[in-house]
Amino acid sequence: MAEPPGSTLRLDRLPPVRVEGAALRVVELPLRSPFTTSFGTQTVRRAVLVECRGDGTTGVGECAAGIEPAYSSETVGTALGVLRDHLVPGVVGTEPATVADLLGRVAWVRGHHMARAALEMALLDLAGRAAGISLGEVLGATSDRVAAGVSIGIQPSLEATYSLIEGYLAQGYRRIKLKCRPGYDVELARGVRAHFPTTPVMLDANSAYRLGDAATLRQLDAFDLMMLEQPLAHDDLVDHAALQRELRTPICLDESVESVADARAAIQLRAGRIVNIKAGRVGGLIPAAGVHDACRAAGWPVWCGGMLETGVGRAANVALAALPNFTLPGDTSASDRYFEADILKEPFRLQPDGTLLVPTGPGLGVELDPSRVAAATQHHEVVA
Ligand code: SMG
Ligand code: MG
């Protein structure tokens, strides 16, 4: 039998770096339209940015956590506190060290994956900039562009949903994800399929159902959906496995996979057939590559999720999505899907072929626009 494919990571290409100082920033950008899921409505993206200074440059990382502990237990507030009190002080120092060594110094911190991932992103950006190597090269990217899907929130009417889908398809998006919840599911899928018979469509429930809803969810099998994302509880695998046995539609796990260990358990239990990988949820880009590798070895396709990131987090998502087993379009939409003005000098644009280009410059490969950052900043503190 052929060896399972191994890790794509090339961390050895990054030189040791010295983190001379660090700061935390909270930015807030209004969303162009409210985003409603089964757990609530968001009108802004508020995000913690970690800034690590050293070797004549600055690395930046974006934290995926949102304002409320609804999608996950982490929030902007918890991330700020853990980064300030525990994570950042662990990596600031006088001697150069590799990114792996720096992260090893804070490996004792349990949980707080999104906070840790933001620090990891800043360190990878810093070391990549210092070495002139792109994040994609370090992660093992094998494509120069990634297929873009779009995630559409719960709308006031089915007609409103259809017209949004038409607009995004006209722009070139390659897959449509629709948020659903009990009572806004089977008719949604039926109506969308009738209007868009061949469009790649999927639903995302954000944990709104229980196993007892299996009979309702089984009706979705009639509509040739690409997948049903996270139907059951955020911390469940066993019931997802039972539900998958009853559904023809593939289940995609999101909230339930917070680590490589979770991914391995999901695969062993057959709790689904696909994983949505978000670096923040699993504690960083390095563990995200590990989830990718575990899924690849098991024959499970993956795709890159989104947390309404600014261009900073988007750059990291797009680099991650360029790994070889990211074979499905991700929630990696262009900047103008979310914001009037991103905080980058050059926003991410949808290409005519329905892709985003993977940045090739050093580190994240994007430049912040200082005036936009200043205008979006609500809070800034020097930590070390
Ligand atoms: O970034 O395009 C995006 C949003 C994608 O639907 C999206 N994310 O469960 O996958 C998900 C949700 C989580 C964020 S809800 C604010
Ligand atoms: Mg999801």
CA of 46 to the centre of ligand 1 (A): 14
Helix (H) or strand (E) holding 61: strand 57-62
Residue 67 and residue 75 in contact, taking contact as beta carbons nearer than 8 Å: yes
To the nearest 10 degrees (0 to 180), the angle between helices 285-298 and 311-320 is 30
Domain span holding position 225: 138-357
Measured distance CA(49)–CA(51) in Å, rounded? 6
As a whole number, mean pLDDT of residues 218-234 equals: 98
Instruction: Give residue-wise pLDDT tens across range 304-359.
Output: 999 999 999 999 999 999 999 999 999 999 999 999 999 999 999 999 999 999 99
Identity of the amino acid at 285: L
Q: What is the largest CA-CA distance in the chain?
A: 63
**62-to-125, 173, 328 alpha-carbon distances in Å:** 11, 25, 24
pLDDT attached to residue 94? 82
- Residues 22 and 103 both lie in one domain: yes
- Residues 198 and 280 both lie in one domain: yes
- Residues 48 and 184 both lie in one domain: no
Q: Identify whether 316 is part of a domain.
A: yes
Closest atom of ligand 1 relative to the 35 alpha carbon: 16
Chain mean pLDDT for the chain: 97
The count of structural domains within the chain is 2
Instruction: Give residue-wise pLDDT tens across range 230-250.
Output: 999 999 999 999 999 999 999
- Residues 83 and 98 both lie in one domain: yes
Q: Identify whether 259 is part of a domain.
A: yes
- Residues 218 and 71 both lie in one domain: no
Helix (H) or strand (E) holding 62: strand 57-62
Q: Over pLDDT 70: what percentage of the chain?
A: 99
Measured distance CA(177)–CA(149) in Å, rounded? 7
- pLDDT of 195 above 70: yes
Q: Identify whether 68 is part of a domain.
A: yes
Q: Identify whether 267 is part of a domain.
A: yes
CA of 71 to the centre of ligand 2 (A): 9
Helix (H) or strand (E) holding 23: strand 21-37
To the nearest 10 degrees (0 to 180), the angle between helices 186-195 and 158-171 is 50
Q: Identify whether 258 is part of a domain.
A: yes
Record the tokens describing residue 66, joined without a space.
């949102």
pLDDT attached to residue 5? 78
Exposure letters 104-134 (e unless 16+ CB within 10 A, then b): eebeebeebbbbbbbbbbbbbbbbbbbbebb
- The CATH number linked to 184 is 3.20.20.120
pLDDT attached to residue 3? 64
CA of 231 to the centre of ligand 2 (A): 9
- pLDDT of 97 above 70: yes
Q: Tell me which residue has tokens 């390095």.
A: 286
Q: Identify whether 363 is part of a domain.
A: no
- Residues 66 and 148 both lie in one domain: no
What residues form DSSP beta bridges with 37?
Answer: 40
Q: Identify whether 79 is part of a domain.
A: yes
Residue 60 and residue 51 in contact, taking contact as beta carbons nearer than 8 Å: yes
Helix (H) or strand (E) holding 22: strand 21-37
- Residues 124 and 158 both lie in one domain: no
Would you put residue 270 in left (φ > 0), alpha (ψ -120 to 50) or beta? left
With the most atoms of ligand 1 within 8 angstroms of its CB, the residue from 41, 234, 258, 331 to mutate is 331
pLDDT attached to residue 106? 98
- Residues 113 and 41 both lie in one domain: yes
What residues form DSSP beta bridges with 35?
Answer: 42
- Residues 300 and 164 both lie in one domain: yes
Q: Identify whether 5 is part of a domain.
A: no
Q: Which of 4-8, 172-176, 212-216, 357-361 has the lowest mean pLDDT?
A: 4-8
- Residues 234 and 315 both lie in one domain: yes
- Residues 56 and 199 both lie in one domain: no
- pLDDT of 1 above 60: no
Record the tokens describing residue 49, joined without a space.
């940015």
What one-character DSSP code corresponds to residue 321? Answer: T
pLDDT attached to residue 4? 66
- Residues 221 and 79 both lie in one domain: no
Per DSSP (E only), the strands in 213-313 are: 228-229, 251-253, 274-277, 302-304
pLDDT tier, 2 (very low <50, low <70, confident <90, very high otherwise): low
CA 363 from centroid of its chain's CA atoms? 18
Record the tokens describing residue 247, joined without a space.
């559904």
What residues form DSSP beta bridges with 184?
Answer: 181
- The CATH number linked to 119 is 3.30.390.10
Helix (H) or strand (E) holding 203: strand 201-204
With the most atoms of ligand 1 within 8 angstroms of its CB, the residue from 38, 152, 181, 204 to mutate is 204
Residue 146 and residue 321 in contact, taking contact as beta carbons nearer than 8 Å: yes
Ligand 1: list residues with CB < 6 Å.
Answer: 35, 37, 42, 66, 71, 151, 204, 206, 254, 305-308, 331, 333
Q: Which residues are catalytic?
A: 179, 278
